[in-house]
Amino acid sequence: MRKPGMDKLITKSEDSRGVGPAVLDAWLPPKTGRRVLLVEGEKDSTSAAASDLLQQLARQNTVTLGENDDLLSALPFDSDQFDLVVCAFVSGSSKVGSETLQEIGRILKPDGELLIMDYLVPGSRLHGKKADRLRDAGEYINSWMRLRNPRHRCFLDQDSWERLLRNGQWDIKKMATQDVTMEFGAWASFYAPDDLNRLRLRAMLIQAPEKAHAFLTPLMSGDRIAFRMSEIFILATKE
């Protein structure tokens, strides 16, 4: 069950530019002297809302790190240094685990906050055939991502994020998700795949298994195709 007061904000279009600023304004009201660490992951196509939020954060007292495994396992800062740590789309390029969250907790001040922004895939903490199909769909989408970018690691499902935070003694204060629309041509071209892999990417999207297809909801118009991804925003504090 969700904790009382947890927000569930769902929008249906990448053009909903109010979500990012709303997260910053409602969840993180202005605070004099707030020191922010922004850890950036894959340089990929983010929604307008996420881009707006990152731009606003960059105008604060922000230190920015390009994300990699070494940084996340041993951040180059003393303990109790930051009021806010933002992990922006890190799961695609680094394994996110308990050690990651422990290291982030170390550099946060006692009343500090963690803001996670990332992409989701289907999944479930439950047991049974339906849950298995959702997990299979998540694995399929991550495999699809690796065909596009061989260095892609693993997008998580929402249950996995919640379980990871809870097991690490983090208290989830706010959570929001939004659907974003991706244009396949621009998305596929980002990592400049060869013609054969581009055809494979297109085929895997169109011919995706039922649960993966329902999640991505590919839509064709002439020779163009679009699909859906989901972004998640989580604000948490150490218990």
Q: Is the model more confident about 44 or about 235? A: 235
> 80: left (phi > 0), else alpha (psi -120 to 50), else beta?
left
Q: What is the pTM of this model?
A: 0.87
Q: How many CB atoms lie within 10 A of CB 162?
A: 20
Give yes or no for a contact between 128 and 158, defined as CB atoms under 8 angstroms apart. Answer: no
pLDDT digits (tens, 9 = 90+) for 119-173: 999 999 999 999 999 999 999 999 999 999 998 999 999 999 999 999 999 999 9
CATH 3.40.50.150 fits 19-238, yes or no: yes
Count the alpha carbons within 13 Å of 26 in the hemisphere toward its beta carbon.
Answer: 16
The letter for the amino acid at 59 is R
**What b-and-e string marks burial along 175-206, b requiring 16 or more CB atoms within 10 Å of the CB?**
bbbbbbebebeebbeebebeeeebeebeebbe
- Tell me the three state secondary structure of residue 233: strand
Name the band, by pLDDT with cuts 50, 70 and 90, for residue 195: very high
Give me the residue spans of the domains in the chain. Answer: 19-238
CA distance 226 to 107: 40
pLDDT exceeding 70 applies to what percent of the chain?
85
